[in-house]
Structure formats: C-alpha cells, structure tokens
C-alpha cells in the first residue's frame, strides 16, 4: 500500500490539471483523482467542500463510485452546480461535518475514502474523526491537509492506522494519508 501511495503522489506532480480554470491546480486534487482511480472507492466523503475541487477530483477518478461533499455553507454556487451537472456521482450535502456521519452511513453504507478538510483545528478534526470512525470500511483511507496548522499534527497522530505525509502535495503545508489495511484493496472489482 505504501509503495502504491508513494507512486500516486509522485504521479500527481505530472498529472494534467483539470481543464476548467475555475478549479485551482492543487497537486493534492490530482492525487485524489489518482487515488480514486486506483482504489475504486464505492463511497468517498469530503468534509468541507468550499469550491468543490476535492470532490470534483474524487468523482472524476472513479465515476462509478459515489462522492458526498459536505459543507455547512453552499458557497461557490457556480462551481458546485458545475460539478453536479457534469458528475452525476457527486452529491452536495448541506450539513455540519460531524453530525452528518450517521445520516450518510444510513443512506449509503460504509465510507472508503474520508477527506477531512474543514476548519483545521484540533478539536474539530478530532470531533469529525470520532463521528466518522464507526462508519469507515475496514480498508478505508483518511486524508487530512494543512498539517502545519496548530494542533493538526497532533490530531493526525491520534488517528489510528498506517500513516504517511506528503508535504509537496499541498505546497509544503502537509498532506497526510492514513490507511487502515497495509495492502491495497480495490473496493469495486468489477468496474
């Protein structure tokens, strides 16, 4: 698994950027796309959608998997609408990040990829992790960015699992990956 993640992180540097300039060319977006293409998650969840670049790339990487983007504000209506119109596997959910967990699980089942990207504080990140943990699949991958913010490395260290950090995926600000199984398990073998 670690070798695959290292390869995808390297490939993300040279991967083509999304052609619509409304979405910034963040290296971690391209990593999300490659990760979804490789792992084929049935269900990915992004906590904190903002302009939607993260969800867009998860949806793009594996069109047969469902991507739920959760944010308590629907800002950037034009971009969110663009993703909804062009990627039918994406769903925006207007909700608090932590209390949405059981609702998403009830409707969609266990989560294969969880990208935690809201306010980057220790308390919120731990609250989100604890809320979603019971609903993670046994081979889930958890992603966190901006590990250089106060308390974020502490929160990252408290998440259970195998870990790797790729600072270059987020312009040096830290991008962490936690994986629960040491071998890659493609979730959707038939697609």
Ligand X SMILES: C[S@@+](CC[C@H](N)C(=O)[O-])C[C@H]1O[C@@H](n2cnc3c(N)ncnc32)[C@H](O)[C@@H]1O
Q: Which two tokens stand for residue 149?
A: 């913010």
For ligand X, the binding residue among 39, 45, 71, 169 (CB under 6 A) is: 71
Binding map of ligand X across residues 73-102, x = CB under 6 A, - = no contact: x----------------------xx-----
Q: Is 46 in the site for ligand X (CB under 6 A)?
A: yes
Nearer to ligand X, 29 or 39 (CB): 29
CB neighbours of 94 closer than 8 A, spacing ≥ 6?
A: 71, 72, 73, 74
For ligand X, the binding residue among 10, 15, 72, 151 (CB under 6 A) is: 72
Q: Is 66 in the site for ligand X (CB under 6 A)?
A: no
Residues 132/101, Cβ–Cβ less than 8 Å: yes
Q: Which two tokens stand for residue 56?
A: 């867009």
Q: Is 122 in the site for ligand X (CB under 6 A)?
A: no
CA 51 to chain centre: 14
CB neighbours of 178 closer than 8 A, spacing ≥ 6?
A: 141, 142, 143, 144, 156, 159, 160, 161, 162, 163
Nearer to ligand X, 45 or 140 (CB): 45
For ligand X, the binding residue among 27, 41, 54, 174 (CB under 6 A) is: 54
For ligand X, the binding residue among 117, 152, 178, 179 (CB under 6 A) is: 117
Please state, in angstroms and rounded to a whole number, the distance separating the CA atoms of residues 191 and 63: 9
Q: Is 112 in the site for ligand X (CB under 6 A)?
A: no
Q: Is 148 in the site for ligand X (CB under 6 A)?
A: no
User: 175: closest CA among 36, 55, 56, 28?
Assistant: 28
Nearer to ligand X, 49 or 60 (CB): 49
User: 67: closest CA among 132, 113, 106, 110?
Assistant: 113
Question: What residues make contact with ligand X under the rule CB under 6 A?
Answer: 46, 48-51, 53-54, 70-73, 96-97, 117-119
């Amino acid at each position: 698994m670690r070798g695959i993640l290292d390869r995808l992180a390297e490939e993300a540097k040279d991967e083509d950027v999304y052609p619509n300039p409304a979405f910034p060319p963040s290296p971690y977006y391209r990593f999300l796309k490659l990760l979804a293409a490789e792992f084929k998650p049935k269900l990915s969840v992004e906590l904190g959608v903002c302009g939607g670049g993260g969800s867009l790339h998860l949806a793009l990487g594996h069109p047969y998997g469902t991507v739920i983007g959760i944010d308590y504000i629907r800002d950037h209506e034009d971009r969110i609408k663009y993703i909804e119109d062009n990627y039918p596997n994406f769903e925006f959910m207007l909700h608090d990040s932590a209390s949405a967990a059981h609702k998403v699980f009830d409707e969609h089942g266990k989560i294969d990829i969880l990208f935690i990207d809201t306010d980057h504080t220790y308390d919120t990140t731990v609250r989100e992790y604890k809320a979603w943990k019971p609903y993670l699949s046994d081979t889930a991958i958890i992603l966190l960015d901006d590990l250089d913010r106060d308390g974020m490395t502490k929160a990252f260290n408290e998440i259970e699992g195998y870990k790797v950090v790729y600072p270059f995926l987020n312009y040096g600000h830290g991008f962490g990956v936690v994986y629960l199984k040491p071998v890659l398990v493609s979730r959707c073998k038939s697609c």
